[in-house]
Amino acid sequence: MHSPIKFFAGSANRDLAIKIIDGYNQAQKQMHLESGNPIDTLKTYSLGKSSFIRFSDGEFITSLDESVRGCTVFLIQSTFPPVDNLFELMLMVDAAKRASAYKVVAVIPYFGFARQDRKDQPRVAIGAKLIADLLTAAKVDRIMTMDLHADQIQGFFNVPVDHVYASALFVPYLKNLNLDNLVIASPDMGGSKRAKAYSHFLGCDMAIAHKSRVKANEVGEMMVIGDVEGKNVIITDDMVDTAGTIVMAANIMMDKGAKSVRVVASHPVLSGPAYERLNNSPIIEFITTDSIPIKEGASDKIKVLSIGPLFGDIINKVYNFRSISGSFIV
């Protein structure tokens, strides 16, 4: 017998949380129809009531304003800056556990600090491992996230991790563009595996923009490996922060004779001069998701595909002990 299910959201992603719950409702309805079960008595879920109170000194309190005793609780919150978003999630996990929730699942569409996945220089922290330890200390039972900066971060947790891939949305969208002479490009060597997977499913060639970084958020030199002349180029990445790398890659692709350049990125961090750089670049379309909220009206080039239905479907499958691997393309 299943435990009751409840959904709550932190203050960072409430709009996305509602879309995820709507996606869950649609997924459970579809599952019942396929199983031949009646849907007239099927419960429709909504966002649970919760409170967020901030003191004048910046300290804050979170509370779940309805019973979760014996429930499987899904807490939806991306952990993009400020760090308050992460701490709010951990407080919500603790509140649910202390309220006798049966299981607590943290749904983290964008997992912050994921770029700190290894010790790449002396005397630096492995931030992603520390965040994993903090969530484990808060006694979370399961993690759901999307397109981690490095796949090995899943191993930082001692609880199950459901790793969702936005390619399930991007690949069908790109196919519907019906672009000829298509080339998938990676903005760096680290993303070549992702680009190769996209090129496989889209049946096209790939290229790589090899870069050297001067320091964080600052790219030194870049060169293109592969033929992009006369091609419609799609640059793929897991996240775009200041947009310096992808804009430099787009400029080089156009200099090498590319017909057009589009960008596909799972997480639109878009900090600092990112919007200005995108607007002034030769990139004709920036395709991303709503894992992080986008500034309204900041750029006409941005196309947002909602991950709500995707996460709703994954939650339904996990809750009903079904495999999720068939939901992914890459």
| DSSP states of 82-134 | STHHHHHHHHHHHHHHHTT-SEEEEEESS-TTTT--S--STT---HHHHHHHH
48, amino acid identity: G
User: If you compute the radius of gyration of the chain from its CA atoms, what whole number of angstroms results?
Assistant: 21
Read off φ and ψ for residue 103, nearest 5 degrees: -140, 145
Helix (H) or strand (E) holding 27: helix 14-35
Could you identify the residue written with the tokens 């670049």?
281
Closest CA to 201 of 151, 166, 167: 167
Query: Is 175 considered catalytic here?
Result: no
Tokens standing for residue 317? 């499958």
Catalytic residue, candidates 211, 295, 301, 303: 211
Q: Dihedral sign for Cα 283, 284, 289, 291, please.
A: positive
- State residue 250 phi and psi, 5-degree precision: -65, -45
Q: What are phi and psi of 47, to 5 degrees?
A: -70, 130
> What are the strands, taking DSSP E only, across the chain?
5-9, 50-54, 60-64, 72-76, 103-108, 142-146, 161-164, 182-186, 205-215, 218-225, 232-240, 260-268, 285-289, 302-305
In this structure, the number of other CB atoms found within 10 A of the CB of residue 118 comes to: 13
State the DSSP string of 49-89: PEEEEE-TTS-EEEEE-S--TT-EEEEE---PSSTHHHHHH
Residue 7, phi then psi, degrees to nearest 5: -120, 135
Which two tokens mark 287? Answer: 């395709």
Give the residue numbers annotated as catalytic, written as ranges.
211
